[in-house]
Amino acid sequence: MMAVHVLVVDDQAAIVEIVRDYLADAGFRVSTARSGEEALRQVRSITPDLIVLDLGLPGMDGLDVARTVRQTSGVPIIMLTARTEEADRVVGLELGADDYLVKPFSPRELLARVRAVLRRSGAVALDDARPLVVGDLVVDPQRREVRVGGRDVEMTATEFDLLARLASAPGRVFTRRQLTEALHGVDVGGRAIDAHVKNVRRKVEDDPHRPQRIVTVHGVGYRLREA
């Protein structure tokens, strides 16, 4: 079995070196890029299994990289951000990033998040692997596929796990904390959950601005409307 291939993108040489060495010691195959343009070239040439992406890149920044990658790929993305970039973190999550880590961070925490995101992208999220059918929405945990009205819908690993949790109990209200737990315990925070729900709505709702499937329960969380 080939080692999981991680692309690390950061313009700071010290961070790239530390992250590269730590992930390599943990058994990952690691490639690196120091700019957004170089990152996109690497994505096209090596097809990584996961991208660790700094948002504060010079020139083509991390948000532009994530936006471009998401046009053609659902590869998991973990963003690295500065504490002052909260708005950018929300935008990044809305673009389809799976998780984020605030600088300064410990390599051990990054490794834990890499492993958690990879579990979500390659493993069945629910114990019951039968397809979940809610009206014309079908969520297949075994194949990790989503269909709406017979058409296939591409989703990131995080988006799939979120929708699968909601579809596991149509009509039930899930708090943001419960939805975070559905993401294998990765603490993405309430605003991040809201951003992921927004992404899912864009893909499964006829009108994402007036959602009919995923309903907001104000002050509590979200529920998937029963068929």
- Residue ranges of the chain whose pLDDT lies below 70: 1-3, 122-129, 184-190
Report the mean per-residue pLDDT for the chain. 87
In this prediction, residue 7 carries a pLDDT of 97
CATH number of the domain encompassing residue 191: 1.10.10.10
161-181: pLDDT as tens digits: 899 989 988 888 988 888 887
In this prediction, residue 127 carries a pLDDT of 43
3-state secondary structure of 7: strand
CATH number of the domain encompassing residue 105: 3.40.50.2300
Verify cis geometry, omega within 30 degrees of 0, for the bond prior to 104.
Answer: yes
Per-residue exposure over 56-74, b if at least 16 CB sit within 10 Å of its own CB, e if not: bbeeebbbbbbebbbeebb
Judge if 114 and 139 occupy the same domain.
no
Judge residue 147's burial from the number of C-beta atoms within 10 Å of its C-beta, 0-12 exposed, 13-18 middle, 19 or more buried: middle
Judge if 59 and 145 occupy the same domain.
no
Judge residue 90's burial from the number of C-beta atoms within 10 Å of its C-beta, 0-12 exposed, 13-18 middle, 19 or more buried: middle
Judge if 97 and 136 occupy the same domain.
no
Which residue range forms the structural domain that includes residue 147?
132-224
The two three-digit tokens of residue 126, written as one number: 């629910």
Residues sharing a CB contact under 8 Å with residue 25, sequence separation 6 or more, in sequence order = none
Which of 122, 152, 184 represents a domain boundary (last residue)?
122
Judge if 62 and 168 occupy the same domain.
no
Judge if 58 and 76 occupy the same domain.
yes
Which of 100, 122, 144 represents a domain boundary (last residue)?
122
Q: Are 201 and 162 in contact (CB under 8 A)?
A: no
**Is the residue at 220 inside a domain?**
yes
In this prediction, residue 185 carries a pLDDT of 53
**Is the residue at 127 inside a domain?**
no
